[in-house]
């Protein structure tokens, strides 16, 4: 832990630095590969929308014994093997100690009777123990529309907030690109793994957008502080932004780990131990979105913001000043010295290569050319001035 703390201090002070801004095309390429895979998965497999979005039939079964996960698995297998196409992939969850909830797509009366027969034979329930609820497709479309409207309102509010807080619309653009990056990756992962998209998933999407925005705003706030007076800091705009990312890196890692550990535990319990649960939909969205949000706030948002600002006059001037400072020559950058054991020529002088300046040292500065040997000064024999009291001066 002490090494990690020491590394964090070195990153904050600038003694060590990771070039996030300079290697932005590498990060862009990594994100592009992941996004392309997500889009391919989305286009090939599509999203597995839940009953609330597509409409269908829900059965609530009250059993005499315990409604545990093994019984839910048996019911899922029994209903799926009925040959009814709409019930080929049912969702079965436990609700309390004695209730099972079974969800399938819309079925006809004959298909409904076939599904009921399978449920009764597996659970031992009677007709009075089973209640049915039918969800129309129009209601599902309304839920989907409201979810999209909520997402649009959220994005507009984010744009206005960041623009008012930072007073730079380019920060808003970079933040929105990072948010889009997180949403596309999360949706693509959902399509690839085949998890059901439910209203809980929409809640998870909105949560991860808030988490990603929070992390991005912290980095942008540090950028705003570092770039407040570039002349005084003697750094270029890109270097100041890169320093801001390094200064917040340890904090971002710690925050992400602390947030991901409980979400990973919920995902494991809901997906592996419970088999199927609404917690699974929420946990997957949170886990993937938080991981993608931590990545985008570090590797996408800041490099993109620097790229958007690269043509502004103040930024160009800061880059030019930094380049000029790096090229300035220092006549005292290399002072030849003699060390014991050094080889000497016939005149007792060090060889010429011993006095040659090292180009890789002193950041490219060079020593002036010598004009001749050093001789004794004629001023050595002159009387030197001495300090006297005012009363004795001029006498």
DSSP-assigned letter for residue 353: G
Buried b (16+ CB within 10 A) or exposed e, 281-315: bbbbbbbbbbbbbbbbbbbbbbbbbbbbbeeeeeb
Distance (Å, rounded) from C-alpha 244 to C-alpha 226? 7
In CATH, the architecture of 12-48+139-318 is Up-down Bundle (1.20)
What is the crossing angle of helices 24-44 and 169-193, to 10°? 40
Count of alpha carbons within 13 angstroms of residue 195, beta-carbon side: 28
* pTM reported for the whole predicted model: 0.66
* Residues with pLDDT less than 70, the chain: 1-5, 7-8, 12, 14, 96, 136-137, 139-140, 271-278, 326-368, 374, 376-385, 393-395
pLDDT at 25: 92
Cα angle, residue 148 at apex, residues 147 and 153 outer, rounded to 5°: 100
Q: Which of 206, 216, 200, 236 has the alpha carbon at shortest distance from 312? A: 236
Put the strands of the sheet holding 99-104 in their side by side order. Answer: 91-95, 99-104, 56-62, 130-135
Phi first, then psi: give them for residue 360, nearest 5 degrees: -80, -10
Per-domain residue ranges of the chain? 12-48+139-318, 56-129
Looking up tokens 């009764």, which residue turns up?
A: 120
pLDDT at 137: 64
Looking up tokens 């391919």, which residue turns up?
A: 40
Phi first, then psi: give them for residue 254, nearest 5 degrees: -60, -45
Q: Which of 54, 56, 70, 47 has the alpha carbon at shortest distance from 103? A: 56
pLDDT at 27: 92
Residue 384, helix vs strand vs coil = coil
Residue 229, helix vs strand vs coil = coil
pLDDT at 36: 92
pLDDT tens sequence across 83-107: 888 788 787 877 767 788 888 887 8
Distance (Å, rounded) from C-alpha 259 to C-alpha 285? 13
In CATH, the architecture of 56-129 is 2-Layer Sandwich (3.30)
């Amino acid at each position: 832990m002490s090494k990690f703390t020491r590394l964090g201090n070195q990153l904050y002070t600038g003694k060590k630095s990771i070039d996030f801004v300079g290697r932005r095309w590498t990060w862009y390429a990594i994100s592009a590969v992941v996004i392309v895979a997500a889009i391919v998965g989305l286009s090939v497999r599509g999203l597995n929308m839940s009953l609330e979005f597509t409409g269908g039939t829900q059965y609530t079964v009250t059993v005499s014994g315990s409604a545990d996960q093994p019984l839910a698995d048996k019911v899922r297998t029994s209903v799926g093997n009925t040959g009814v196409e709409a019930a080929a992939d049912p969702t079965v969850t436990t609700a309390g100690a004695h209730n099972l909830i079974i969800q399938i797509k819309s079925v006809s009366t004959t298909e409904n009777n076939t599904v009921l027969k399978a449920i009764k034979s597996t659970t031992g329930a009677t007709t009075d123990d089973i209640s049915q609820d039918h969800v129309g497709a129009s209601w599902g479309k309304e839920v989907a529309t409201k979810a999209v409207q909520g997402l649009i309102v959220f994005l507009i509010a984010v744009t206005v907030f960041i623009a008012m807080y930072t007073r730079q619309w380019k920060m808003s653009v970079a933040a929105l690109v990072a948010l889009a990056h997180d949403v596309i990756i999360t949706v693509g992962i959902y399509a690839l793994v085949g998890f059901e998209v439910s209203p809980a998933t929409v809640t998870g999407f909105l949560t991860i957008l808030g988490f990603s925005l929070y992390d991005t705003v912290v980095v942008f706030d540090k950028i705003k502080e570092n770039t407040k007076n570039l002349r005084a800091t003697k750094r270029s705009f890109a270097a100041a932004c890169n320093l801001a990312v390094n200064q917040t890196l340890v904090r971002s890692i710690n925050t992400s780990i602390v947030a991901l550990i409980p979400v990973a535990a919920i995902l494991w319990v809901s997906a592996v131990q419970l088999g199927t649960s609404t917690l699974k939909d929420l946990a997957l969205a949170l886990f993937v979105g938080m991981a993608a949000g931590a990545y985008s706030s570090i590797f996408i948002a800041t490099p993109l913001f620097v790229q958007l600002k690269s043509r502004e006059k103040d930024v160009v001037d800061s880059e030019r000043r930094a380049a000029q400072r790096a090229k300035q020559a220092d006549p005292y950058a290399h002072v030849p010295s003699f060390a014991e054991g050094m080889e000497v020529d016939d005149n007792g002088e060090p060889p010429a290569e011993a006095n040659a300046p090292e180009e890789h040292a002193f950041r490219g500065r060079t020593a002036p050319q010598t004009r001749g040997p050093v001789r004794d000064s004629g001023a050595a024999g002159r009387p030197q001035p001495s300090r006297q009291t005012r009363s004795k001066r001029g006498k």
